[in-house]
Copies of this chain bind each other. A is one copy, B any other.
């Protein structure tokens, strides 16, 4: 094992928690440490045939023999021997396949000699929960479903209430206009009649 090969373990994370190291200095995800370890340890062994290695620039790595890699190496570091599960993890952590004809992967923060960069690599999936921890996932789920709906519903109900109030006011205005119209017509009618009568009297 390389001297700088400090595997990310539960103990590490515990220490990290106890001494209160900030998130930026926390230990890397186990998957990343193990993959880095794996490459470093292969580096030391002078095998005739390389199964996996850093690429020429140390900016990524190549799985030269996927079958041998899966059967011989994966179980030493992980709880499986499936190449596809390894690839799934690489994708989860944002690695990119950078060659079409060989299994070469790169990640900006995964470089030969730069173990300290591993801690800056994060999983793609991470949605911080907005709900208190005492709720079970089912309740959270229900609330989550309702949260958006409630906001929308409340807005709709508010608008609704305002619209009804407006309607009432408009209807009162109309009632007022109707009364006014009647009065004006009455007035006009009287006025016309008045004019007529006045004219007749005067004539």
Contact = CB atoms under 8 A, between A and B. Distances in A.
A144 interface: yes
Interface stretch (A56-64, A108-116, A172-180): A172-180
This chain's copy number in the assembly: 2
Nearest to A197: B195
A76 interface: no
Interface stretch (A16-24, A32-40, A162-170): A162-170
A127 interface: yes
Interface residues of A, number: 49
A141 interface: yes
Contacts of A101: none
> Which of A124, A141, A177 gathers most chain B CB within 10 Å?
A141
Interface stretch (A1-9, A41-49, A66-74, A152-160): A152-160
Contacts of A171: 170
Interface of A: 79-80, 124-128, 136-142, 144-146, 149-150, 152-153, 156-157, 159-160, 163-164, 166-167, 170-171, 173-174, 177-178, 180-181, 184-185, 187-188, 191-192, 194-195, 198-199, 202-203
